[in-house]
Amino acid sequence: MARAILIVLDSVGCGGAEDAHLYGDEGADTLGHIAQGCADGRGDREGLRNGTLALPNLIRLGLAHAYEVSTGQPLVGAAKPAMTGGRYGYGVERSQGKDTPSGHWEIAGCPVAFEWGYFTALDNSFPPDLVAAIIREGDIPGILGNKHASGTAIIEELAEEHIRTGKPICYTSVDSVLQIAAHEEHFGLDRLYALCREVRRLVDPLRIGRVIARPFVGSAETGYSRTGNRKDFAIPPAGETILDRLAAVGRAIVTVGKIGDIFAHRATGEEIKPYGNAAMFEAALTALDQLPDGGFCFVNLVDFDTEYGHRRDVPGYAAALEAFDAMLPRLEARLRPGDLAVITADHGNDPTWPGTDHTREHVPILAFGPGIAAEPLGRRESFADIAASLAQWLGIGPVGPGRAW
């Protein structure tokens, strides 16, 4: 019986979507602009990397082909092979928004049919009645921030006041999100999680996609840094996903990274959540080694987004892509006859783009495994085509509105 592994390279978009102008993202292109930056020297950093973007394994599997089909332009610095090592194409998001839940849910076969709620005011972003409820229900002396902000920047700005007053740092962005940062030692990690659960309940009527706990450590003398204990409290998907179907028929499921948080821990099987792309990739390899016939492993590699996209770090993003590329042969070596591996993304986060937010983009789709012939997948009109294809491969019946390739 076939097995499958799905890896989401968080934020590795491959060219602006047709409706990108509605999101202020016309011209954004995460992969293309990183490649261009590497070619012209903006991707160089002493001791980290230099030169053109080197992704030989992803290129062999069809990434440059997928990019060119998506954008109509060649990927700068990439020599396309005459034949690819698998199927390649790109996906177009049907759901509204450009955030993690909508992208992942649609990948899993459940496009978002409703409009997310947002906190649009740049300052005093949260309604006064919500702020009052957070303070009351969370049993806290008040909140700090209450604005649109970069997570790292607002922690640097307000960490000392947070430690002095005990008030957590609350902020948002153009995404449907309310983030709460607090010091693991001075405020307490369990207390932060408990507060986020209360806030999750409070923002449910507003259709806010995620409440995110952002713990950090450090001091004014040593500097502050976020830890790997982030936790997302998401709305559960509004309909059936491939995870639900697999669980219903008794298949083994392993989810790596923040997949459990994104799907509100519904049908997410064995959840493994190490810190960092390399550790998550290692966990995925171990899971694949132990995955029984008919099983499914769903992986999110978040560092591209959180560490480099939001921080507008072209060299860091390029180095992370190259590190993933170098690990790929180890995944290919573990695939058995009949296995299917799919690599995709959930949205863009162009590190050359103004601001610090996600970008509305197409996503690459690479599908490969032993005996899977090279074949163009072309333009897929929904990310849900991925779920439909995986469901067909695993023999569990149709899932979602997508069209299997």
Please state, in angstroms and as integers, the Cα–Cα distance from residue 333 to each residue in 284, 298, 327, 328, following that order.
13, 18, 11, 9
Which amino acid, one-letter code, is at 295? Answer: G
66 and 98 both lie in a single domain: yes
228 and 242 both lie in a single domain: no
223 and 145 both lie in a single domain: yes
65 and 150 both lie in a single domain: no
6 φ, ψ (degrees, to nearest 5): -120, 120
Q: Whole-angstrom Cα distance, residue 187 to residue 183?
A: 5
Question: For position 172, which CATH number holds?
Answer: 3.30.70.1250
Q: Considering the domain boundaries, does residue 142 fall inside one?
A: yes
244 and 347 both lie in a single domain: yes
Identify any residues that bridge with 210 across adjacent strands, giving them in sequence order: 177, 234
94 and 178 both lie in a single domain: no
Residue 366 tokens read as 């690479």
60 and 86 both lie in a single domain: yes
In total, how many domains does the chain have? 2
Contact 33, 350 (CB under 8 A): yes
Q: Specify the pairing of strand 223-226 against strand 270-272.
A: unpaired
Which amino acid, one-letter code, is at 366? Answer: L
In this prediction, residue 159 carries a pLDDT of: 97
Residue 380 tokens read as 């897929």
C-beta neighbour count of 12 within 10 angstroms? 29
Whether pTM > 0.75 for this model: the answer is yes
Greatest Cα pair distance in the chain: 63
Q: Work out the angle at residue 350's Cα, subtended by the Cα atoms of residues 348 and 351, and round it to the nearest 5 degrees.
A: 140
Q: At what angle do helices 128-138 and 189-203 cross, to 10 degrees?
A: 140
Contact 300, 345 (CB under 8 A): no
Its domain, for residue 219, covers 128-233
Question: For position 81, which CATH number holds?
Answer: 3.40.720.10
Instruction: Show which of 201, 233, 265 is a domain's final residue.
Output: 233
Q: Which alpha helices (H) appear in 294-335, and where do they start and end?
A: 303, 314-334
Tens place of pLDDT for every residue, the chain, 405 residues? 899 999 999 999 999 999 999 999 999 999 999 999 999 999 999 999 999 999 999 999 999 999 999 999 999 999 888 888 999 999 999 998 899 999 999 999 999 988 899 999 999 999 999 999 999 999 999 999 999 998 989 999 999 999 999 999 999 998 899 999 999 999 999 999 999 999 999 999 999 999 999 999 999 999 999 998 999 999 999 999 999 999 999 999 999 999 999 999 999 999 999 999 999 999 999 999 999 999 999 999 999 999 999 999 999 999 999 999 999 999 999 999 999 999 999 999 999 999 889 999 999 999 999 999 999 999 999 999 999 999 999 999 999 999 999
Strands (DSSP E) along 192-263, which ranges? Answer: 210-219, 223-226, 231-234, 253-256
C-beta neighbour count of 160 within 10 angstroms? 12
208 and 296 both lie in a single domain: no
Q: Which of 325, 322, 385, 310 is nearest to 30 (CA)?
A: 310
In this prediction, residue 174 carries a pLDDT of: 86
